[in-house]
Structure 1
Amino acid sequence: MKIIRTSTISISLNVLLKGQLKFLNGFFDVVGISSGDELLDEVRQREGIKTISINIERGISPAKDLVSLFRLYHILKSEKPTIVHSITPKAGLLTMLAGKMAGVPIRLHTFTGLIFPTKKGFMQKVLISMDRLLCSAATNIYPEGQGVKKDLIKYKITSKPLKVIANGNVNGIDLDYFSPDKISGEQKNDLKIELNISQSDFVFVFVGRLVGDKGINELVEAFSQISKNAYLSKPVKLLLIGPLEEHLDPLQPETLEEIKSNPDILDLGFQKDVRPYFAISDALVFPSYREGFPNVVMQAGAMGLPSIVSDINGCNEIIVEKQNGMIIPVKNNQKLKNAMETLLSDVDLYHQLKVNSRPMIESRYEQSVIWNELLHEYKKLLKEKNIDV
């Protein structure tokens, strides 16, 4: 029984579905498809599955998209999967269309996030039309969380039933891997020395792509004001962990200049293992404009960090106000600054949030629960089609 999992770029298979593909490969013959690079090779080796490279453009590119569509069609006709299951928008559209053309009986798409709610005018109409076309070609649709589900219903993207797997998120959290106990005191001290962080510093951390719609412009402005206020009782640092993407949604020039010139902002680029940076931090700040169900907020919580997040899909499901973090309006510099200052000044509140952070992740997002729920869903769909596993 063959299942093909697809994503637009290889990092989605490599990071978002880490471990899950290997788990499913114990029950099915799993094949992974995405744009190819060394990360796709890493998926093949680590997960023990077959991978196929196919170029899929992230942006709208009609000519290239048509080529990718027919390439996918020929692969599906050759591989003859029983199930195709896509994540990410472009891979979802092309996979569902190619799957329908190739006669794949079960065609699943998981919406890990929606782009169109943050767009306006003609572009929003185009994106809505693309998602509606995707859903029309799919047999089953899975929003990653309740917020995504509500938006799919609100914008009338599909009339098909919408089901959230377990408590949301595509992969859950490996609580053994993301554990404060995995980083020793010596490791933390060495990293603080390397980064010139003192024991008295309160360290905020952001993990993700350094682009506008992750709220980096607002974050840097708010932190800049805080770091330059002499009345603060404790010094602060901001760690920026993630790649700077200068072509898609670039940061404002003044933001880039502040990152470069402010000695309290440490731009550390992409890090394969983010756990040591969580371990030396005191709180995650994640003021993104849109998400499906952000892994980084769960990872930070599993590492014992409270989070300041924007009031968007996923974030407002993982974080409960004043229990394991704080929720602020989107694109609001002042509210973001106020929340950061609250964590700095209200010691009792900060301690309460920190104590609650890991238990609230453990109780809702443990990885094996989500994997087994997905396996159950696959078997249920096969049974409904009278296909023996």
Structure 2
Amino acid sequence: MKKKKLIVGITVPQSIGLLKGQLNYFSAHGYDACLLTQHDERSSNYCKEEGCRKLNVIIERNISIKKDWKTLLALIKIFLQEKPDVVNVGTPKMGLLGMIAAWLCRVPNRIYTCRGFRYEHETGKLKKILMACEWISAACANQIICISPSVKALGVKDGLFDEKKCVVINKGSSNGIDPEQFSPSKVSKHDIDTLKDKYGLKGKFVYGFLGRVVDRKGINELFEAFCSIYDEDQNVRLFVVGPWEMEQVKDKNLMTKMQDHPGVVVTGKTFDVALHFSVMDVFVLPAWWEGFGNVVVQAADMGIAVIGSTGTGVCDAVCDGFNGIHVPIKNVAKLTEAMKLIKTDQVLREKLAANGPIWGHNFKPEIIWEGMDKLYKAR
């Protein structure tokens, strides 16, 4: 029997982490699986590891009418040559151009994967443009995978998505979170002690943040809340792990303020995520919006109590009262209150931490991939 041809597209190879294990799974399950993205070493290595084919296209993240037109023509050419049965594209630019090209080429099964809405906290002309792009992507699709229930709800509410097209696989997530990768058993006590010694965290109560340091992740609110807690208790620490993207940080002095604060540790990017989770007593993500808060589930898998916002995509990653606490977005007072509560109430903190791995098992990658497989075979 002829294999179904599947093309999965992303805008830039930096997003390849969103697809780890996915195309290997579909290759092993009888698909002729292809990755469609820009050519670089990362995309080449990914395809070798996953056992899938690579289709190259030049595509820009930012809006450029001339370049985007060339990309659209290139995508049409690829789809006409490859004749895929299924096209699944996500990330804003590939989602838009990939869906238009797939619709024009009459690809039988066109799936748009929505990973959140950039327009949520934008205003004016830019917001209207971003919303229009989402509407077009969705209109060209047969099916829309919303990676969290709140993304689906907002897309339908704002008139961008036809609810009949929308699917949330299980409880959400774009690619699942591997509980084996984020397990306390993966980290040695020696390595934990070494990291604590390096950053002066021994004997301290550690609030942790891990991710890109940008305004929309709620980093300003987190720093403000922490400062008020530190004023009352100098035994607390804020452990900030991740790369700074200063073009998305309004306060250009924020990094200096945090580095100069005696209670804040700023590490920069790390490749050993599990180890850095291991020194945290509480994980905090007061983000304004996400597609889905993968990092919150990773922390939960590590057996850490979490605090997450009620923002789109973040609220779905925390089970309020079971493994963590919800706080409203951009509300420093409520965030401070939750951070104090989870520190002082040890019984609550230990309960939330113990429930984390139980919650995390809802998001195993195989659950997400099996759901995708059903969608791919539906047409």
Q: Provide TM-score, normalisation by structure 2.
A: 0.94
For residues 84-110 of structure 1, the C-alpha deviation after alignment (integer angstroms, 9 at most, x for no partner) is 101212110010011122232211011
Alignment match, 1:73: 76
- What percentage of residue pairs aligned between the two structures are identical? 33
Alignment match, 1:31: 34
Distance 1:167 1:77 in 2: 35
Query: Which secondary structure does the structure 2 equivalent of 1:348 belong to?
Result: helix
Whether the 8 Å CA contact 1:325–1:353 is kept in 2: the answer is yes
Q: 1:242/1:55 Cα in 2 relative to 1: closer, same or farther (>3 Å)?
A: farther
Query: Which secondary structure does the structure 1 equivalent of 2:110 belong to?
Result: strand
Whether the 8 Å CA contact 1:216–1:251 is kept in 2: the answer is no
Query: Which secondary structure does the structure 2 equivalent of 1:2 belong to?
Result: strand
Query: Which secondary structure does the structure 2 equivalent of 1:288 belong to?
Result: coil
Distance 2:41 2:224 in 1: 36
Alignment match, 1:276: 275
Q: 1:167/1:287 Cα in 2 relative to 1: closer, same or farther (>3 Å)?
A: same
Distance 1:16 1:192 in 2: 30
For residues 184-230 of structure 1, the C-alpha deviation after alignment (integer angstroms, 9 at most, x for no partner) is 111211221222221x1111221211111111111122222322x2x
Alignment match, 1:285: 284
Q: 1:190/1:11 Cα in 2 relative to 1: closer, same or farther (>3 Å)?
A: same
Distance 2:184 2:45 in 1: 26
For residues 139-182 of structure 1, the C-alpha deviation after alignment (integer angstroms, 9 at most, x for no partner) is 21121111111111111113352111122112112111111111
Distance 1:340 1:223 in 2: 8
Distance 2:321 2:235 in 1: 23
Whether the 8 Å CA contact 1:204–1:283 is kept in 2: the answer is yes
1:15 to 14, 17, 20: 17
How do 1:1-389 and structure 2 match up within 5 A? 1-12=4-15, 14-26=16-28, 27-159=30-162, 160-198=164-202, 200-227=203-230, 229=231, 231-232=232-233, 235-247=235-247, 249-362=248-361, 364-381=362-379
Report the CA distance between 1:352 and its aligned residue.
1.5
Whether the 8 Å CA contact 2:115–2:292 is kept in 1: the answer is yes
Query: Which secondary structure does the structure 2 equivalent of 1:42 belong to?
Result: helix
Distance 1:272 1:50 in 2: 27
Q: Which consecutive residues of structure 2, in runs of 5 or more, have no partner in the other structure?
A: none
What is the aligned length?
A: 374
One-letter identity of the residue aligned with 1:308: I
Distance 1:66 1:185 in 2: 54
Q: 1:224/1:46 Cα in 2 relative to 1: closer, same or farther (>3 Å)?
A: farther
Report the CA distance between 1:251 and its aligned residue.
4.0
Distance 1:147 1:94 in 2: 25
Distance 2:64 2:328 in 1: 33
Whether the 8 Å CA contact 1:309–1:326 is kept in 2: the answer is yes
Query: Which secondary structure does the structure 1 equivalent of 2:99 belong to?
Result: helix
Distance 2:264 2:58 in 1: 36
Report the CA distance between 1:56 and its aligned residue.
2.5
Distance 1:63 1:243 in 2: 32
Q: 1:35/1:216 Cα in 2 relative to 1: closer, same or farther (>3 Å)?
A: farther
Alignment match, 1:387: none
- List structure 1 runs of 4+ shifted beyond 4 angstroms: none
One-letter identity of the residue aligned with 2:298: Q
For residues 240-283 of structure 1, the C-alpha deviation after alignment (integer angstroms, 9 at most, x for no partner) is 22211122x22413422212212332222222230100111111
Whether the 8 Å CA contact 2:177–2:297 is kept in 1: the answer is yes
Whether the 8 Å CA contact 1:170–1:370 is kept in 2: the answer is yes
Report the CA distance between 1:7 and its aligned residue.
1.0
Distance 1:259 1:63 in 2: 42
Distance 2:226 2:188 in 1: 28
For residues 69-96 of structure 1, the C-alpha deviation after alignment (integer angstroms, 9 at most, x for no partner) is 1222222222221111012121100100
RMSD over aligned Cα atoms: 1.7
Whether the 8 Å CA contact 1:175–1:367 is kept in 2: the answer is no
Whether the 8 Å CA contact 2:173–2:292 is kept in 1: the answer is yes
For residues 331-374 of structure 1, the C-alpha deviation after alignment (integer angstroms, 9 at most, x for no partner) is 11222122111122121211111111111222x21222222221
One-letter identity of the residue aligned with 1:41: S
Q: Provide TM-score, normalisation by structure 1.
A: 0.91
Distance 2:294 2:45 in 1: 20
Distance 1:281 1:309 in 2: 15
Query: Which secondary structure does the structure 2 equivalent of 1:380 belong to?
Result: coil
Whether the 8 Å CA contact 1:300–1:307 is kept in 2: the answer is yes
Q: 1:224/1:253 Cα in 2 relative to 1: closer, same or farther (>3 Å)?
A: farther
Distance 1:237 1:39 in 2: 35
Whether the 8 Å CA contact 1:302–1:361 is kept in 2: the answer is yes
